[in-house]
Amino acid sequence: MPMPALGLASSPNSPAAKSGINKTGGMTKKTSSQNPARPAPAIGVSACLLGMKVRWDGGHKQDWYVRKVLAKHFELVAICPENECGLGIPREPVRLEGDPDRPRLFTLNSRIELTGKMEAWIERRLGELEQVDLCGFVFKAKSPSCGLKSTKIFGNGSVFLSGRGLFAAAFTKRFPAIPVVEENDLHDPLAKAIFIEKLTRFGKLR
């Protein structure tokens, strides 16, 4: 699979950062710039990074590199675990607690455990994603569902600062070869270059 060059926009005001994205569904509609008759490669993205108002407070965390650069070259499969598993918008904040290797998900104030609900949704969603043929995923940092290496896990009077969200953990276990990154790393030149190289290598192997 030919992969696009992504050393494009260095700021949200650059010409390459002027494209739009369809925010009404889970995926944009694109074709490959190398072969217009062929669909563009797909990557998963935490939905809030696309400007979708799916966070607990009804807000978003739009990321300009994802929204303006990656969106020009890839089908973007938007996923919000908390919203899609039925927690609604707005909703009570949630956090992970307990063993960092097997954390459990609780609402912050009402103390309702949502681990089983989230895990059931994750199993269904990962089954659907097996049919999408993703070549990468951009996760929201620090999220209790989507953080890769920065999620707080609370327990025994201490806080583990480098945990992994429930969905991110399950995704990387089911698809260990697919390149993944937190959005913060896309603004570090070296980390971004490494991720793009992994996307390119993974695409060529398929």
User: What's the pLDDT tens digit per position in 121-168?
Assistant: 999 999 999 999 899 999 999 999 999 999 999 998 899 999 999 999
| 156 inside domain | no
| 152 inside domain | no
Output the pLDDT for position 206: 65
| 170 inside domain | yes
Question: How would residue 39 be classed by pLDDT, with cut points 50, 70 and 90?
Answer: confident
Could you read off the pLDDT of 53-105 as tens digits, one per residue? 999 999 999 999 999 999 998 999 999 999 999 999 999 999 999 999 999 99
Number of domains, the chain: 1
- Residues 6 or more apart whose Cβ sits within 8 Å of residue 75: 27, 28, 29, 30, 39, 40, 41, 42, 43
| 157 inside domain | no
| 115 inside domain | no
| 51 inside domain | yes
182 lies in which domain range? Answer: 15-91+122-145+164-205
- If phi > 0 it is left, if psi is from -120 to 50 it is alpha, else beta; for residue 198 that is alpha
Q: Which long-range contacts (CB under 8 A, 24 or more apart) does 154-159 make?
A: 154/95, 154/96, 154/97, 155/97, 155/98, 155/99, 155/100
| 109 inside domain | no
Of 1-5, 79-83, 124-128, 201-205, which gets the smallest average pLDDT? 1-5
- Residues 6 or more apart whose Cβ sits within 8 Å of residue 15: 9
Output the pLDDT for position 7: 44
What does the alpha-carbon distance between residue 103 and residue 86 come to, in Å, rounded to a whole number? 20
> The tokens of 46 are what?
């935490």
